[in-house]
């Protein structure tokens, strides 16, 4: 146990001194494993992990969902989503900010990346909100907070990584994220209403769209609805009806989603040969980066397990007769604290190998824990000092200070804490939909 604690501290120090998380975890894991089992065993373990990762068919879900998100981005679907949200919500006080959050949720459903959602929607929504004299606090905060939905509403790359790390059903994780994602949208809308109630000038009401204009705007999002229904409907078994009979595994759903996004972008005339090459190149780079991080996480996980840290944590909990819920509260508190200084993926990869065996041994559902981890990770994307969505937004918008954005997002991470409390207190909010899934959900 002492060796694994030293290893964990070493990883934290290396990351603090800006060593890439994949290298830090891989190096510490290799050296720790070598210290316990010897050099030959450590080399064999790393080699086996690299070969298994390269040959694992299940991992193909990662590049397929990345490819789907990039094709969606090229297809320009973000603008149509914002237009239809604005048509229905723009006439309310704070309506453009609400429309931004709803559009972010829709874009998240076919993109799967929080950073991409925040960066894309900022280019679409920020000029509109400024033209109606919205405050920079509310404008930037609604984009930064809405962007966090990208890692929860399926398909989500971070849920895929959690599923791969813990061997939890990716299909069930995706379905489990729907209700918490929708709850997040509703609470974010409430945060906007609270903000404009305190400062009516922060979000003036816009003109009311006619029903004809609303129906016209809805025509622009048919592609989004079809793509989401194809991917999630296939996973959930909704398409398993005569005469179609389509049910997908997560890998098959990712492939169908990538193909559908490609056809949509192509049909809109938004995809040149050069664009296609750029998308494929970016997919390869992102996938290689994620696989490198995964291999480093697995190497570190093998060392931690060999050194006995998860078992020692279990014995400590049992010997002190701690309540499982008290243990879970402590773990969530650790995640919230780490989220203030770590970016989301690093936090997930570093902690899940340590906490997951303990959590499952206490009787908590792995799907429920995965959603809880992702919700806490969402909070870390907009909390100081390392709120990645805030810094991405600052980079895109440019002329708004990070202090202004952090001040604006405060009501949003407060309602995120409320959502987290609800999901912990009422696990069925997470587990109801997965419990109704067919065999492909297992």
Q: Where do the domains of the chain lie? A: 59-291+308-441
pLDDT, tens digit, 9 for 90 and up, residues 329-385: 999 988 888 777 676 777 788 888 889 988 998 899 999 999 999 999 888 888 877
Is the distance from CB of 22 to CB of 28 less than 8 angstroms? no
Check residue 239 and give its pLDDT: 63
With a cut of 90, say whether residue 422 has pLDDT above it: yes
Check residue 442 and give its pLDDT: 42
Check residue 101 and give its pLDDT: 92
pLDDT, tens digit, 9 for 90 and up, residues 208-221: 888 888 888 887 67
pTM: 0.83
Tokens of 367: 């799907």
Is the distance from CB of 96 to CB of 127 less than 8 angstroms? no
Check residue 190 and give its pLDDT: 95
Is the distance from CB of 220 to CB of 83 less than 8 angstroms? yes
Tokens of 438: 């067919």
Check residue 242 and give its pLDDT: 56
With a cut of 90, say whether residue 311 has pLDDT above it: no
With a cut of 80, say whether residue 327 has pLDDT above it: yes
Distance, in Å, from the CA atom of 331 to the CA atom of 313, rounded to the nearest integer, reads: 12
pLDDT, tens digit, 9 for 90 and up, residues 34-66: 999 999 999 999 999 888 888 877 778 888 888
Tokens of 129: 């909100």
Question: Which pairs count as long-range contacts for 286-293, CB under 8 Å and 24+ apart, including other chains?
Answer: 286/63, 286/66, 287/62, 287/63, 287/66, 289/22, 290/62, 290/66, 290/157, 290/161, 291/53, 291/59, 291/62, 292/22, 293/21, 293/22, 293/25, 293/345, 293/349
Half-sphere exposure of 353 (CA within 13 A, CB side): 25
Distance, in Å, from the CA atom of 371 to the CA atom of 369, rounded to the nearest integer, reads: 5
pLDDT, tens digit, 9 for 90 and up, residues 138-192: 999 999 898 888 788 887 888 888 988 888 988 899 889 999 999 999 999 999 9
Tell me which range, 114-123, 193-202, 239-248, is most confidently predicted by mean pLDDT. 193-202
Residue 440 binned pLDDT confidence (cut-offs 50, 70, 90): very low
Query: Position of tokens 């040959």?
Result: 55
pLDDT, tens digit, 9 for 90 and up, residues 249-285: 778 888 888 888 888 888 888 788 888 999 899 889 8
Check residue 1 and give its pLDDT: 65
With a cut of 90, say whether residue 426 has pLDDT above it: yes
pLDDT, tens digit, 9 for 90 and up, residues 58-90: 778 888 888 887 887 777 777 788 888 888 888
- Residues in Cβ contact with 351 at an 8 Å cutoff, skipping those fewer than 6 apart: 334, 335, 338
Check residue 441 and give its pLDDT: 46
Check residue 415 and give its pLDDT: 95
What are the backbone angles phi and psi of residue 13, rounded to the nearest 5°? -65, -45
């Amino acid at each position: 146990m002492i060796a694994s604690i030293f290893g964990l501290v070493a990883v934290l120090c290396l990351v603090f001194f800006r060593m890439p998380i994949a290298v830090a975890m891989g190096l510490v894991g290799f050296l720790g494993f070598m210290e316990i089992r010897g050099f030959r065993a450590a080399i064999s373990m790393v080699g086996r992990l690299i070969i298994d990762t390269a040959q694992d068919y299940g991992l193909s879900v990662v590049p397929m969902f990345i490819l789907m998100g990039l094709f969606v981005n090229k297809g320009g679907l973000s603008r149509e989503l914002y237009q239809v949200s604005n048509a229905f919500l723009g006439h309310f006080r704070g309506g453009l900010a609400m429309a931004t959050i709803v559009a972010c949720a829709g874009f998240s459903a076919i993109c799967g990346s929080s950073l991409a959602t925040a960066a894309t929607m900022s280019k679409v929504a920020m000029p509109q909100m400024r033209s109606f004299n919205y405050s920079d606090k509310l404008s930037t905060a609604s984009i930064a907070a809405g962007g966090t939905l990208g890692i929860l509403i399926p398909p989500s790359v971070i849920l895929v990584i959690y599923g791969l790390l813990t061997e939890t059903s990716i299909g069930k994780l995706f379905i489990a994220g729907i209700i918490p994602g929708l709850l997040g949208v509703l609470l974010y809308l409430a945060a906007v209403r609270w903000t404009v109630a305190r400062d009516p000038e922060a979000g003036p009401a816009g003109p009311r769209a006619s029903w004809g204009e609303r129906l016209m705007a809805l025509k622009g999002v048919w592609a989004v609805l079809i793509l989401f229904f194809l991917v999630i409907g296939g996973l959930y078994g909704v398409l398993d009806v005569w005469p179609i009979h389509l049910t997908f595994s997560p890998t098959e759903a990712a492939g169908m989603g990538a193909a559908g996004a490609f056809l949509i972008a192509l049909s809109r005339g938004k995809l040149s040969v050069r664009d296609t090459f750029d998308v494929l190149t970016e997919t390869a780079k992102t996938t290689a980066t994620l696989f490198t991080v995964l291999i480093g996480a697995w190497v570190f996980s093998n060392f931690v397990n060999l050194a006995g840290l998860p078992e020692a944590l279990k014995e400590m909990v049992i010997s002190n007769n701690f309540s499982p819920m008290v243990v879970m509260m402590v773990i969530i508190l650790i995640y919230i604290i780490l989220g203030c200084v770590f970016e989301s993926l690093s936090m997930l990869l570093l902690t899940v190998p340590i906490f997951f065996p303990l959590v499952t041994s206490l009787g908590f559902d792995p799907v429920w824990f995965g959603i809880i981890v992702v919700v806490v990770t969402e909070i870390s994307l907009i909390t100081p000092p390392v709120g990645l969505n805030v810094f991405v937004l600052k980079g895109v918008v440019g002329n708004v200070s990070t202090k202004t954005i952090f001040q604006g997002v405060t009501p949003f991470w407060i309602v995120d804490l409320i959502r987290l409390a609800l999901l912990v207190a009422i696990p069925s909010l997470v587990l109801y939909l997965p419990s109704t899934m067919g065999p492909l959900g297992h």
